[in-house]
Structure 1
C-alpha cells in the first residue's frame, strides 16, 4: 500500500458529519461520505503529502453551487473527494491557493477534527528540522537505501566508495535538513548556497510527499536553485521537472569525474 493509499483509507474512515463543511452537515450521510469533506481533506492531504491546494467552482445547470477543493502533488492532480461531485456537476476555474485563504476559517474546526483522527490512524505528518551530527549515521543509511533502490547503474563497490564520501565529506560540508515522521528520519536534503547537492528519501517513504516537502523548504526561500541529476535516474529527473526546474545543460561525467552523465537543472 502506498502512502497515498494509506492516507485515502484513513480519510474515508475518519470522515463524518462533524468533519464536513458546516453548510453540508445537515445533509451529510455515510453513503455519500465525501460530500462536504473537500476543504478539510485537501488541507490534511497537503499536511501529509505536500504539494499544492487547488480550489475550483462547482457548476450545475449553468449556475455556481459552491467551491471544490483538491490537491496537486508531484505535478499530478489528486482529488480524494471527487466522489462527492455529482455526474451532472462540473468543476471549473481551478486556482492554486494558500492555506491562509479566507474560506479556510469557515471550516477550521472541522479540519482540526479530521486531522486529529487521521493522526490517530497514521501517526503525525512529516516534520522538517536541521540535521545534527548525531543524525549522520541514520542519514547515511537513508542514502544507501535510496541509492540501492534508484541507482541501478552503480555497482555495489561503487556504492560502497561513494557511501564513504557521503559519510566523511558530503554530510559535514552541507547545510542539511531532515524530514522526520513519528520521530524517525525518512529523508534529507543538503544545500550549499543556491545549489542542492543531495536529496534522498527512504524508499519506504517514497511518493509520500517527503521529497516535495524537503525541496519546497529550499525553493521557497531562494530566488534561484541549481542542481544536477543523474541521467540514468529518470524518476528523479521527472520529479524535478514537475516542480518547475528546467534543463540548462548536460555533462558526460559527474562532478567527481565518474562516467555517469548528469543533467544540469535550474529553477528561477
Structure 2
C-alpha cells in the first residue's frame, strides 16, 4: 500500500469508495441523503481539501483522506478495507504531514467516533445539525 496525492482523475473512483463506505457505515442516511451528497463530494468537496489516497499495488483506491485548515474533512475506506489499519495509516499521515488536529464526526456513526477516540481525539463540542443544516448531529473532536 502507498499513500499518494488524490488527483482529479481519481475522483470517480474516490466517489465510488465514498458511496460504498457510506452505505456500509452511515445507516442513518436515507437514499435521498446519499444522492444529495454524492454530486457535492464529486464537484465541490474533493477539490476543497488536500486529498490523499491509500492505493494497493494494483493502483486501486482502498481509502482516502481530505484535510483543510487542520481539520479532517473526510476519511472513508472501501468496506473491504475496514479493520486492516488503513484508516489509522491515513489519519497518522494527515496528523504528521498535514497538521490535522481536528475532526467533525457524525454522532450517529459510533464506530467512527470510537476510531477517533482510539486515535487520541477527544470530544470538545457538539452541533445538532451538520454543515448543510441537516439533522445529523456532529461531534467536534480535537487531539
Structure 1: runs of 5+ lacking an equivalent: 1-125
SS in structure 1 of the partner of residue 97 of structure 2: coil
Return the alpha-carbon distance in structure 2 between the equivalents of residues 191 and 254 of structure 1: 17
SS in structure 2 of the partner of residue 220 of structure 1: helix
TM-score, normalising length: structure 1: 0.52
SS in structure 2 of the partner of residue 154 of structure 1: coil
Please say if 1:139 is aligned against 2:14: yes
- Larger C-alpha radius of gyration, 1 or 2? 1
Identify the structure with bigger relative contact order (alpha carbons < 8 Å, sequence gap 6+). Answer: 2
Say whether the 8 Å CA contact 1:232–1:261 is kept in structure 2. Answer: yes
Please say if 1:229 is aligned against 2:105: yes
Please say if 1:158 is aligned against 2:33: yes
Question: Could you say what the CA RMSD is over the residues aligned between the two structures, in angstroms?
Answer: 1.1
Say whether the 8 Å CA contact 1:224–1:266 is kept in structure 2. Answer: no
Say whether the 8 Å CA contact 1:245–1:266 is kept in structure 2. Answer: yes
TM-score, normalising length: structure 2: 0.96
Structure 1 outlier segments of 4+, above 3 Å:
221-224
Q: How many residues align?
A: 142
Partner of 1:216: 92
SS in structure 2 of the partner of residue 229 of structure 1: strand
Say whether the 8 Å CA contact 2:64–2:75 is kept in structure 1. Answer: yes
Partner of 1:244: 120
Show CA shifts across 1:188-246 (max 9, x none).
Answer: 00011211100000001101111011000011135661110000000000000000001
Please say if 1:260 is aligned against 2:136: yes
Say whether the 8 Å CA contact 2:127–2:139 is kept in structure 1. Answer: yes
